[in-house]
Amino acid sequence: MVVVSEDVEPELVCVNSCGRKENMGVLPSGGFVFRTSLHLCRKLLNLECPLLAALGWAFKYECAVGLNGLIWVKSDDPVSTIAVANAILGAETMTTEEIAAFCANLC
């Protein structure tokens, strides 16, 4: 996050663990930013979580998951963007096995 203030919307920036942008940098304009639990963010960033990859088979989208609870999603059209966001939010209470079963139904 570049800007943190009560009066200003947060500005999301993607950087690696060393603070360098390396093909990341400032997120493009547009998309949908939503707040979720830190637990869900950690779950999505876990290498064993199949959700984001399976959503990639069903939708063409970009996503940035922050450990601060903010997730940015951008797709070609608003319907796909909302569908991806809803799928991510729906995974909050799912176990890894339930997420795998949900992903099997996507494709």
Per the domain annotation, does 98 fall within a domain?
Answer: yes
- Quote the pLDDT of residue 71: 92
Q: Interhelix angle for 51-58 vs 96-106, to 10°?
A: 10
In the chain, the number of structural domains is 1
Per the domain annotation, does 35 fall within a domain?
Answer: yes
Mean pLDDT, residues 1-5 taken together: 56
Per the domain annotation, does 71 fall within a domain?
Answer: yes
Domain that holds residue 42: 31-106
CATH number of residue 42's parent domain = 3.30.1370.10
Per the domain annotation, does 38 fall within a domain?
Answer: yes
Per the domain annotation, does 76 fall within a domain?
Answer: yes
Per the domain annotation, does 18 fall within a domain?
Answer: no
Residue 16 pLDDT > 60, yes or no? no
Edge-to-edge strands, sheet with 32-35: 32-35, 70-75, 61-65
Q: Interhelix angle for 78-90 vs 96-106, to 10°?
A: 150
Instruction: Write out the two tokens for 4.
Output: 């943190």
3-class DSSP assignment, residue 50:
coil
For residue range 37-59, what is the model confidence (pLDDT) as tens digits? 999 998 998 888 889 988 988 89
